[in-house]
Structure 1
């Protein structure tokens, strides 16, 4: 499962060298992650309503090539793990050439909002959303 977003780099994201400041890459990951979560019906509002928070506990970014002001990029979020945690991998490509610019991943875990305890297995609501999305996809491709 994956989701893509196209972003045109705004001036306020670049430094004096006209290159995106390194901290903004996580923001681009977040934009793609939100689209991915929305795709299978478990966005941040739905997470909260289900009684779980999903904080990012780990992130990694490998900067391959700098991204510049007004460059159009495609940020792809790919769901890789979901049984015990959400591990999402990211790929940032130049939207015009398809050249790889950056890659990385984030890891999130479910936390019961009432008890504030970390869950060692993803809650059933996540599996329900993924199964519903999978069945929807199967019907659409039938």
Structure 2
């Protein structure tokens, strides 16, 4: 399962060399991650409404090639793990050439909002949403 978003790099995301500041890559990951979560109707509002928060506990970015002001990029988020945590991998491509510019991943875990306890398995609601989505896609 994956989702793609297109972004044109705005001026406020670049440094004096017109290269995207390294911290903004995580923002681009987040935009793609939200689109991915929307596919199976379990984005942050639905997470909260179901009684769980899903903080990012780990992130990694491999900066292979700089991204420039006004460059059009395609950011892909790929769901890799969901049974005990959400692990999502990302790839950023130049939208015109298809060249891969960056890759990375984030890891999130479920935390029960009321008790503030971390869950060692993904809550049933996530599995139900993923199952419903996969059944819908197979019809």
TM-score range, shorter chain: over 0.9
Aligned length: 139
Match of 2:131 in 1: 131
Residues 16-35 of structure 1 mapped to structure 2, 5 A cutoff: 16-35=16-35
1:26 deviates by 0.1
Give CA-to-partner distance per residue, 1:29-81, whole Å, 9 cap, x none.
00000000001110100000000000000000000000000000000000000
Give CA-to-partner distance per residue, 1:87-130, whole Å, 9 cap, x none.
00000000000000000000000000010000000000000000
Q: Secondary structure at the match of 2:57?
A: strand
Match of 1:110 in 2: 110
Match of 2:51 in 1: 51
2:86 is the counterpart of 1:86: yes
Match of 2:65 in 1: 65
Structure 1: gaps spanning 5 or more residues: none
TM-score w.r.t. length of structure 1: 0.98
Whole-angstrom CA distance in 2 between matches of 1:39 and 1:87: 16
Whole-angstrom CA distance in 2 between matches of 1:14 and 1:6: 17
Whole-angstrom CA distance in 2 between matches of 1:97 and 1:6: 14
Runs of 4+ in 1 over 3 A off after TM superposition: none
TM-score w.r.t. length of structure 2: 1.00
Match of 2:3 in 1: 3
